[in-house]
Structure 1
Amino acid sequence: MAIAFTAAIPILRIFDEDLARRFYGDYLGLEVDWEHRFEPGLPLYMQMSRAGLVLHLTGHHGDTTPGSTVYVQMEDIAAFHAELRQRDGIGNLRPGLEDAPWGGKLVEVTDPFGNRLRFAGDA
């Protein structure tokens, strides 16, 4: 049997559960797949996903460092960009649809915790 890697799932640090749900759920359109706490009152660890994108969000300080960048390849980036522009972002988010230096298009958003999500695809 050959070695095969089937997925890499980014883990992003969050500091406010409600804000994370609004940004990743209401703004980016991801759904909560599951949630975990070791016991009530302890930080949340959850998985959210949409159309093949899977992210883990954690309130645990030892899991990851805030300020990370996730590069997400996708299809129909123009439709995704239009969708984001119609939604209420957290703060004053108005992401552009930029030309990537290597071809294609980019949409970059920064979550309320300093993590950047860089979406890339053909327009």
Structure 2
Amino acid sequence: MPIIRTFPGPEADRFYLRFLGFSVDWEHRFEPSLPLYRQISRDGIVLHLSEHHGDATPGSAVRLRVADVATLQQQLLTSSIYPLRIGLESQEWGDELAIPDPFGNTLIFHTPRE
């Protein structure tokens, strides 16, 4: 299960929930003032987002398999939430869409070639 480091504040919701379309499955805090840890999902992809120092390192990359990365790219290009000009890369093993998050991580959505 990939754990992605995020920071406190509304930016993780804006990027992961509003822009990428993930939903929150569950959230946990040991106390109200302590860091948030949660699970999000979309179309069979499950990620853990953590505000805890030491759970993960900002600047990480994670590869996520999707059924149709070209359709995902078109959906994200029309979003006004993040005006990213994300390009689709064709590789011999499949098509990829690398998206930087606001915390220095990169999510690489890919559809393998048959």
- TM-score under structure 1 length normalisation: 0.86
Q: CA deviation at 1:87?
A: 0.8
1:42 to 29, 34, 38: 34
Q: Segments of 4+ in structure 1 off by > 2 A?
A: none
Structure number with bigger Rg: 1
5+ residue gaps in structure 1?
1-8
Q: CA deviation at 1:78?
A: 1.1
- CA offsets 1:14-40 (integer angstroms, 9 cap, x no match): 013410011000111000111000011
Q: In the alignment, what sits opposite 1:4? A: none
- CA offsets 1:28-76 (integer angstroms, 9 cap, x no match): 1000111000011100001110010000000000211111000111111
Structure 2 distance, partners of 1:12, 1:114, is 10
Q: CA deviation at 1:122?
A: 5.1
- TM-score under structure 2 length normalisation: 0.92
Q: CA deviation at 1:103?
A: 3.4
Bigger share in strand: 2
* Residues matched between the structures, number: 113
Give identity over the alignment, percent.
Answer: 50
Q: In the alignment, what sits opposite 1:113? A: 103
